[in-house]
A and B are shown apart, each in its own frame.
Chain A
Amino acid sequence: MIALKSTLDRCCLWILATLAPEDTRDAVLGDAIELATDDRMSLWSNTVASALPLAALKFTALRWRDGLTVAGFVFAVTLWEFTVARQYSWPIAKQVLPYSPLSTAATCMAMYVMLYGVFALATGALIRIAKRAHWMPKLATQLLMLAALAPPVLLLMFPTPVDSVAFRFAQFAAILMGLFAGRERSRHRGSVATIA
């Protein structure tokens, strides 16, 4: 039970750390831990009650230009889907085909997914630069990452005849791997072991 409690506490702290704006994150986590330590308010109930106000507070920190950037990025990623990934996956696959033991369709899909990986890698690198230069708040960069996942989500909802769920999940994986490769680890995700 101790391990379960500890895991639950860690989850709660992670949720609070994710939702709290950067300038209040330490204070929010510290107060939540302090209240939970002598059972004035459990971490779980504090997290549930805090989620909505903290999320609202975080969204008010967004500037209009952050919204425009995210909207522009959704446009760019959709353009990539239709003008690059779909158009160039087959020409590239034709080059690879003589060396590939896989079927034509599989090679073409693999190229499509690879093109997405390249795009996500570039996105991850851009997000990293934006974070270092403090061009955008953390929430805007998180929204950018979500925007990168928009096309496969949309295509899962509205599949074309050649789509398959497994293929779209492969596309998800390629995007996530690209973002992961270009990421910058957050310095706020420190140890939470002291609460146990």
Chain B
Amino acid sequence: MSKPKSLGEFEMTVLAAVLHAGDNAYGTSILDEIYERTARRVSVGALYATLSRMEKKGLIRSKLGEATATRGGRAKKYFHLTHDGQIELSRAIASLNRMVEGLDLVAAPA
């Protein structure tokens, strides 16, 4: 079994967004998922820096897609989680849950 790779909060967010976006997980759709679920607008630079880092860790894989006119003729880059990526995300969420278990937290505003 591979050594656990620690995931930061933003890395967990991005991995979850990639999973939510499914087969259509490319830069803009991942950013939209993050915005819809966290109301957090992230720049493309921050996203790709995180995606590149996680690709080096072997948590995600990418492949080049088609270019469209709305993108100025630039190709999309699609991402999907590897098996390791899914395991690390589950592990990170479980760790976080164990950390907050039993804590009496103030409910976040909706």
* Residues of A that sit less than 8 Å from B by CB: 16, 19-21, 24, 26-35, 37, 40-41, 45-46, 49-54, 56-57, 190-192, 194-195
Contacts and interface: CB of A to CB of B under 8 A. Distances in A.
Interface stretch (B12-20, B38-46, B87-95, B97-105): B38-46
A14 to B, nearest CB: 13
A57 B31 contact: no
Contacts of A192: 72
Contact of A30 (B31, B32, B46, B76): B76
A30 B67 contact: yes
Given A33-B70, A194-B72, A53 B45 contact: yes
Interface in B15-31: 26-28, 31
Contacts of A26: 64, 67, 74-75, 77
B73 interface: yes
B83 interface: no
B26 A53 contact: no
A27 B71 CA distance: 9
A194 B71 CA distance: 8
Contacts of A37: 70
Interface string B30-64: 01100100000101111111001000000000001
Interface residues of B, number: 27
Give the interface SS of chain A, mostly helix, strand, loop or mixed.
helix
Nearest to B52: A57
Contacts of B77: 24, 26-27
A20 B45 CA distance: 8
B46 A31 contact: no
A54 B48 contact: yes
B63 to A, nearest CB: 11
A53 B46 contact: yes
A43 B84 CA distance: 34
B110 interface: no
Contacts of B27: 27-28, 30-31, 34
Nearest to B67: A30
Contacts of A34: 27-28, 70-71
B48 A27 contact: yes
A28 B76 CA distance: 9
B44 A194 contact: no
A29 B48 contact: no
Contact of A27 (B46, B68, B74): B74
18 contacts: A16-B44, A21-B52, A24-B77, A26-B77, A27-B77, A28-B48, A29-B71, A29-B72, A30-B76, A31-B27, A34-B28, A34-B70, A35-B31, A45-B43, A49-B43, A49-B45, A194-B73, A195-B72
A194 B56 CA distance: 33
9 closest A-B pairs by beta carbon, nearest first, are A50-B45, A30-B74, A49-B43, A31-B27, A30-B71, A27-B77, A53-B49, A54-B45, A53-B45
